[in-house]
Amino acid sequence: MSRAFLVVMDSVGIGGAPDADAFFNDGVPDSGANTVGHIARACAEGQAEDGRSGPLRMPVLDRLGLGAALELASGAAAPGLDATPDGLWGAATEVSRGKDTPSGHWELAGLPVPWDWHTFPVATPAFTEDIRARVCELAGTEGILGDCHGSGTVMLDRFGAEHVRTGWPICYTSADSVFQIAAHEDPEIFGLDRLLALCEGLAPMLHARRVGRVIARPFIGAPGDFRRTGNRRDYAIRPPEPVLTNWVQDAGRPVIGVGKIGDIFSMEGIDRVEKGDDATLMTHLGDLVDTAPDGALVFANFVEFDSLWGHRRDVSGYARALEWFDAEIGRLLPRLRDGDLLCLTADHGNDPTWHGTDHTRERVPVLIAGRGAGTIGQVAFADVAASVAAHLGVPAQGPGRSFLQDGD
């Protein structure tokens, strides 16, 4: 019985979104953003030399069709990504009105978001009085810190010392539909369990207002040396209709999440989740290639392209992460069984050469090993779910159409 491995490279966009002019970073439209393309160009021009050097080297994904997909998506050629593909490849376009994690993942799983997400105004304070009051009630504090838009590491630099002094939670947001709360893991200051309880208690109020996620952002350290930990937790709105994970589970097949997949889908249709940093997740993915049972769906997200490098606009760091990922996937491919499908894709862009610090609206690659070679052309995000379901022999729902052909 066939297995499927659906792997989301968080934020690894390839440009070309037809509606990019409707999405903005610091007031500048995302038109022309191209995460992989601009990283490749920066590498070729010697502008990404921190911890690596020279042109972007991604021979494994390029042979699967990455460079070809980028040119199909954006019309641009990426330096160093010019291999003749030996995989099945194409580019996917999103229709949901968001360039965020839930929008991209839900649609890749067959469900375009059926509403507009609520976002908070770019103002200080950013939140309404009733939200502030609810946070204080749940946290047992007299106030909150932040109450603004900002990048997480900047929030720690700005408010971390005051948080240690007062014990008040640091609350902030971004252009995405998120409410993020940072707090120190030391129980003498705040505590991890208290932070998770705060986010879990606040989530129903914000979900009712179509805020996509409440995110716990725990950290450790002292002023001048605050560091996030791996204990992040996303409290996301539950998908309102069945998605790929439900389709597979309802057919009696095992569904295993790797990374933050369980959080994104509120564990809908997911039997178990393996967590950790990206290096640990790659170990989990390799173990599952070796051991996942026949008929299984393994759905993985590798987040550090986005969280560590894209938002921080670190081109060298993003390039290092891409090259590491490419080498690791190269080690996994020979271990796939006959009949397995491995699909590599992304949920949005986060061009580290772009304006601002938010995600960028882009098309994404669809690279498939295990189903022959050739182009699938321009497809929809939802077509990914329909195709994975078709490979597994599971009935699909929603608007997607399989791009796999019998005999591929």
Domain at 342, CATH number: 3.40.720.10
Last residue of a domain, one of 168, 202, 236: 236
pLDDT at 369 over 80: yes
Q: Among the three residues 203, 221, 236, which one is the final residue of a domain in this structure?
A: 236
- Helix, strand or coil, per DSSP, at residue 67: helix
Please report whether residue 405 resides in a domain. no
Residue 187 has pLDDT above 80, yes or no: yes
Please indicate, yes or no, whether residues 81 and 15 belong to a single structural domain of this protein: yes
| pLDDT of 172 strictly over 50 | yes
Q: Long-range contacts for 137-143 (Cβ within 8 Å, ≥24 apart)?
A: 138/197, 138/198, 138/201, 138/202, 139/168, 139/169, 139/194, 139/198, 141/166, 141/167, 141/168, 141/169, 142/168, 143/168
Pair (247, 219) in one structural domain: no
In the predicted model, what is the mean pLDDT of the chain?
96
Chain segment 256-301, per-residue pLDDT in tens: 999 999 999 999 999 999 999 999 999 999 999 999 999 999 999 9
| Model confidence pLDDT, tens digit, residues 44-89 | 999 999 999 999 999 999 999 999 999 999 999 999 999 999 999 9
Based on the fold, state whether residues 312 and 348 are members of the same structural domain.
yes
Alpha-carbon 143 to chain mean position: 31
Q: Where are the beta strands (DSSP E) in 221-290?
A: 227-228, 233-236, 255-258, 272-274
pLDDT > 70 in the chain, percent: 99
Q: Does residue 10 have a known ligand-binding role?
A: yes
What is the pLDDT at residue 406? 63
In a domain, 116, yes or no: no
Both 287 and 151 in one domain: the answer is no
Whether residues 19 and 150 fall in one domain: no
103, 245: one domain: yes
**406 falls within a domain:** no
Residues 344 and 225 in one domain: no
38 assigned to a ligand binding site: no
Angle CA 383–288–113, to nearest 5: 30
Give me the pLDDT at residue 408, please.
47
Which residues sit opposite 25 in a β-bridge?
28
CA-wise closest residue to 229 among 238, 221, 237: 221
Q: Tell me the CATH number at 143.
A: 3.30.70.1250
CB 245 within 8 A of CB 109: yes
Instruction: Measure the CA–CA gap between 170 and 173, rounded to whole angstroms.
Output: 10
Report CA 335 to chain centroid distance, whole Å.
Answer: 25
Domain final residue pick, 215, 236, 257: 236
Q: Closest Cα partner for 261 from 20, 1, 5?
A: 5
The answer to whether 359 is annotated as binding is yes
347 is in an annotated binding site: yes
Q: What is the pLDDT of residue 153?
A: 82
What's the average model confidence in pLDDT over 153-174?
Answer: 96
Asked if residue 81 is part of any domain, the answer here is yes
199 and 63 both lie in a single domain: no
Could you list the residue range(s) of the whole structural domain that residue 209 is in? 129-236
124 within a domain of the structure (yes/no) = no
What is the per-residue pLDDT across 231-247, written as a single tens digit (0 to 9) for each? Answer: 999 999 999 999 999 99
What is the pLDDT at residue 1? 84
* pLDDT class of 230 with cuts at 50, 70, 90: confident
pLDDT of residue 114: 93
DSSP characters over 162-212: HHHHH---EEEE-SSSEEEEEEES-TTTS-HHHHHHHHHHHHHHHHTTT--
Cis ω before 365 (30° cut-off from 0): no
Domain presence at residue 408:
no
How far is the C-alpha of 374 from the C-alpha of 391, rounded, in Å? 17
- 270, 301 Cβ separation under 8 angstroms: no
Residue 403 lies in a domain: no
Strand 297-302 with 4-9, pairing: parallel
356 with 211, same domain? no
pLDDT at 407 over 70: no
Same domain, 42 and 96: yes
Q: Are residues 249 and 363 in the same domain?
A: yes
Residue 398 included in any domain: no
Q: pLDDT confidence of 142, banded at 50, 70, 90?
A: very high
Whether 290 and 388 share a structural domain: yes
Count how many domains the chain has.
Answer: 2
